[in-house]
Chains A and B, each alone.
Chain A
Amino acid sequence: MAVPATLEAWREFVDRSPTKPEMLTARQVRALSDGAREQYDRDRLRWLSADIVLETPDVRNLRRLWTMLSAESLTDAATLSRALAISGSPTFGKSTGVMWIAKHHERQQRQRHPLIPPAELQPSVYVVTPPATTPKMLMIAFCNTLGLPHTRSQTAQDLAEQVVHVLRTLRTSLVVLDEIHNVHSNRQVGAESASSLKLFAERLDAAFLFAGIDLPRSAVFSGPAGEQLAGRTMSYTMVGYSSRSVLDRTEWGTLISTLNDMLPLRDQAAGALQPAAGFLFDVTGGSIGRLRSLLRRTAIDAIRTGHERIDKNDLQRVATVTGIVADAASPPATNPRLEADSA
């Protein structure tokens, strides 16, 4: 599925609850017509790519931080202090994490306000920051996500007014800005963007989630405007899994076991991937994104070839074919840690 870059796509994403297809025996599969078998395989492939968030240490920490942030949102602060920046290397699940928080928040708010028609309530908004963002580009990104008309002659201020008006009307209480590292605040244009982002956030009675690569070192939180923004933002760095302690290795083993149970393969035995746990850690560097990609591709291959199970050999073969090798995987930074530096 593509990134839910429009309001309609986002609502669809929030409403979607993927379910694992019922596993058929070999005899039941043989009894299916060609079309039904094709559909059965399609359902299994869709399940493999479904956006399911697993209970990883990072996700647990994010949930704790979000609880703090949403509790802070209940207070009437005059300046922005309700922001959380989620950082980390690529494929560590930053976007998945923020989308999961926003999805959870939106469902909760919709349940809390059952009398408000769905079209008149938009508790969360997900926006992807365009590369080398100027203040106007940032506002245009909001307009495009919301489906708001905008013309070339309108200024960034005009657009900001319009976006704030719409988000207030729709009672938006959470704004997610993904790929925030695209704002370069140490350049003139970027500094203006960071500054207008701060002013924009102050005008909305909403919590902000920023996600991006290596945010503590990125330009968006440096420079005068960036430092102001950073001072009002909690930050968390997603570090993935580690294998340093016994506890870390047990946690990794549990994750592999969970993913093994989720595979929609007929002949996949429980615990079949446990012998490959060490190999999988080496090859993915503890990145949940890389791990799921490798398992997904191997499982797709098993469905297409009719093999219907995967083991360490299959994983090694697919890792080599698809270019996932141990050297390419970056090692985990440190143990999962919580940097709740609230302003």
Chain B
Amino acid sequence: MTLPAPDLLRPEPLRPLPIRRRRYADESMSSYIYRLAAANGTTTTIVRTWLIQTGALSPHVDDDAWRTAWRALGDLHPAAPDHLKLAGGGMPDRTLCLRCTRGQRASGPLSRWGLVCVKHGCWIAAGDGHRADVRSLRAERLFRRELVRSGITLESAELRFAQRLVFLTIGPRWIEKQHRDHATGSPRAAVYASQVTIAVDLFVRDGLKELARHPTGHRLEPCAEWIAARIEAITSRAEPWRAGALLNHLIIQQERAQSTPDLTGGTRADILHRLTR
């Protein structure tokens, strides 16, 4: 018996699905697959079963093969990335700007995005889509220009620390008012501009190291004053004693742990670790 030529044994390449969908920048593969299947009136499960039943794929293939199959079904350009290289490691998916996607629900890690879509000038946090004010828009540009370039993303420890400081320093009533007046969608959006400015000051312009070189750097009280002054410069509504309270809290915590609070020396990550542990 003669065996068929090797070319005959090769399975036919997958045909693209009749309805194509563009994959958005920063969109995750899982979000794209879901949208593509829905656009074709089917589900990812049905497509998977179909690929197995037609022998196009074996049920035991790895994720790479599935992704390749989906790329063929979506007729994606070979150069389109499978997944994004994130600046700050794995980030949870967030909903993409609904105006960028023309109202289609799509999600992705948005590694280079803060909380504002610069193109449309609206909030993307929690999918609210309200118009962002000029301060927040400026903060978004600052975030992308300064923080993302330094490897700091929205979910990184540095930005969380800056947010904690702002939340404590500005006070809940002012935040509530901002949230209400500007319909920002979430309290987090209300403090976004301050959060980014503080983070840039502390971690990009090395404010933290400057703080550490303070003559009385072995104590945290002057640090609290310094941070309060920075926040006051951002908003006149600041209540500096709150920053002091946070740092005093840190002092107490460290004293309880019988360690001497010391901000001198070390890398930015070390200092941050000592402040937030």
- One digit per residue, 1 when the CB lies within 8 angstroms of any chain B CB and 0 when it does not, for chain A 133-170 equals 00000000000001111111110000001110110011
Is there a chain B Cβ closer than 8 Å to A55's Cβ? no
Neighbouring B residues of A148 by C-beta, 8 Å? 17-18, 40-42
| Contact (Cβ within 8 A) A166 B46 | no
Q: Say yes or no for A120: interface residue by CB 8 A criterion.
A: yes
A7 to chain B, nearest CB (A): 6
A119 within 8 A of B: yes
Known: A8-B15, A146-B18. A166 touches B49 (CB 8 A): no
Residues of B contacting A152 in the complex (Cβ-Cβ under 8 angstroms): 53
Q: Which residues of B contact A109 (CB under 8 A)?
A: none
A166 touches B40 (CB 8 A): yes
For A147, list chain B residues within 8 Å (CB). Answer: 15-18
Please name the residue on chain A nearest to B20 by beta carbon: A119
A6, chain B: closest CB distance, angstroms: 7
Q: Would A166 and B19 count as touching, CB distance under 8 A?
A: yes
Tell me whether A122 is interfacial, beta carbon within 8 Å.
yes
**Does chain A have a CB within 8 A of B174?**
no
Kindly state whether residue B50 has any CB partner on chain A within 8 Å: yes
Cβ of B269 < 8 Å from any Cβ of A? no
Identify the closest chain B residue to A122 (Cβ). B18
B19 and chain A: residue at smallest CB distance: A169
Closest A residue to B37 by CB, please name it.
A149
A-contacting residues, B4-48, CB 8 Å: 15-20, 39-42, 46-47
- Could you tell me the distance in whole angstroms from the C-beta of B273 to the nearest C-beta in chain A? 50
Interface residues on A, range: 20 to 34
Q: What is the CB-to-nearest-CB distance from A272 to chain B, in angstroms, rounded to a whole number?
A: 44
Residues of chain A lying within 8 A (CB to CB) of residue B15: 6-8, 147
Which residue of the partner chain B has the closest CB to A6? B15
Which chain B positions have C-beta within 8 A of A162? 40-42
In the complex formed, the residue of B with least CB distance to A161 is: B41
Question: Which residues of B from 34 to 78 have beta carbons under 8 Å from A?
Answer: 39-42, 46-47, 49-51, 53, 75
Among A97-139, those with CB < 8 Å from B are: 119-120, 122
Asked if A166 and B47 make an inter-chain contact with CB atoms under 8 angstroms apart, the answer reads no
Whether A166 contacts B50 by the Cβ 8 Å rule is no
Residue of A122, A149, A150, A170 ringed by the most chain B CB atoms within 10 A: A149
In the complex, which residue of chain A has the Cβ closest to the Cβ of B16?
A147
Shortest CB–CB separation between residue B139 and chain A, in angstroms?
Answer: 37
Question: Contact at A149–B18, with CB atoms within 8 Å?
Answer: no
Inside 8 A of B39's CB, which chain A residues have their CB?
Answer: 169
- Bound Cα distance A148, B18 (Å): 7
Bound CA span A166–B75, Å: 17
Distance to closest chain A CB from B44 (angstroms): 10
> Considering the complex, which residues of chain A in the window 14-57 have a beta carbon less than 8 Å from any beta carbon of chain B?
none
Asked if B50 and A170 sit within 8 Å, CB to CB, the answer is no
Asked whether, in the complex, the Cβ of B19 is within 8 Å of the Cβ of A151, the reply is no
Q: Is the pair A165, B16 in contact by a Cβ cutoff of 8 Å?
A: no
A150 to B19, CA, bound (A): 15
Chain A residues closer than 8 Å to B19, beta-carbon distance: 120, 166, 169-170
Most buried by B among A122, A148, A169: A148
A147, B42: Cα distance in complex, Å: 12
Q: How far is the CA of A154 from the CA of B39 in the complex (A)?
A: 18
CB closest chain-A residue, reference B42: A149
Instruction: Kindly list chain A residues whose C-beta atoms are within 8 Å of the C-beta of B18.
Output: 7, 122, 146-148, 166, 170
Q: Which 7 A-B pairs have the closest CB atoms?
A: A165-B41, A149-B50, A162-B41, A147-B15, A151-B49, A146-B18, A149-B47
Please, could you name 25 A-B residue pairs with CB atoms under 8 Å apart, sorted by A? A7-B15, A119-B20, A119-B75, A120-B19, A122-B18, A146-B18, A147-B17, A147-B18, A148-B17, A148-B40, A148-B41, A149-B40, A149-B46, A151-B46, A152-B53, A161-B41, A162-B40, A162-B42, A165-B40, A165-B41, A166-B18, A166-B19, A166-B40, A169-B19, A169-B39
Interface residues of A (CB under 8 A from B): 6-8, 119-120, 122, 146-154, 161-163, 165-166, 169-170
Chain B residues within CB distance 8 Å of chain A: 15-20, 39-42, 46-47, 49-51, 53, 75
